[in-house]
């Protein structure tokens, strides 16, 4: 039995998209211009080699500028942050004495 279903579509819900189109390494090479246009349109692709998925092509997320006034309005009714309590919670989750990686 093959390691993956024969379908040309795959679920990638973790990226906020419902399905990715499966394409072969050869399709990527031969149809790169069309694939790039589809990426621009929001399409995602799972690239396969000999039928085995080896990578995923995803469109870059565009950043949106949010005016400071809009951000402040969103958090206007948020509760105040107790920095001492926040630090205690963070220290409980991570070892503050850990040596940073070089």
What is the pTM assigned to this prediction? Answer: 0.46
Burial of 19 (0-12, 13-18, 19+ CB in 10 A): middle
Q: Are 23 and 10 in contact (CB under 8 A)?
A: no
- The closest alpha carbon to 59, from 20, 26, 25, 27, belongs to 20
Q: CATH code for 9-57? A: 3.40.1620.10
Whether the predicted pLDDT of 28 surpasses 90: yes
> What is the H or E stretch that residue 52 is in?
strand 52-57
Question: pLDDT higher for 70 or 12?
Answer: 70
**Domain residue spans of the chain:** 9-57
- Section 40-61 average pLDDT: 93
What is the mean pLDDT of the segment spanning 72-90?
A: 92
Predicted local distance difference test score (pLDDT) of residue 47: 96
Question: End-to-end distance of the chain based on CA atoms, in angstroms?
Answer: 45
């Amino acid at each position: 039995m093959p390691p993956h279903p024969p379908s040309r579509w795959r679920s990638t819900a973790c990226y906020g998209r419902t399905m990715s189109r499966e394409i072969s390494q050869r399709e990527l090479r031969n149809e790169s211009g069309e694939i790039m246009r589809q990426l621009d349109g929001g399409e995602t692709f799972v690239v396969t080699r000999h039928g085995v998925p080896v990578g995923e092509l995803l469109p870059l997320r565009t950043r949106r500028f949010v005016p400071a006034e809009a951000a402040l309005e969103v958090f206007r009714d948020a509760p105040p942050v107790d920095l001492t309590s926040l630090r205690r919670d963070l220290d409980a989750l991570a070892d503050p004495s850990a040596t940073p990686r070089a």
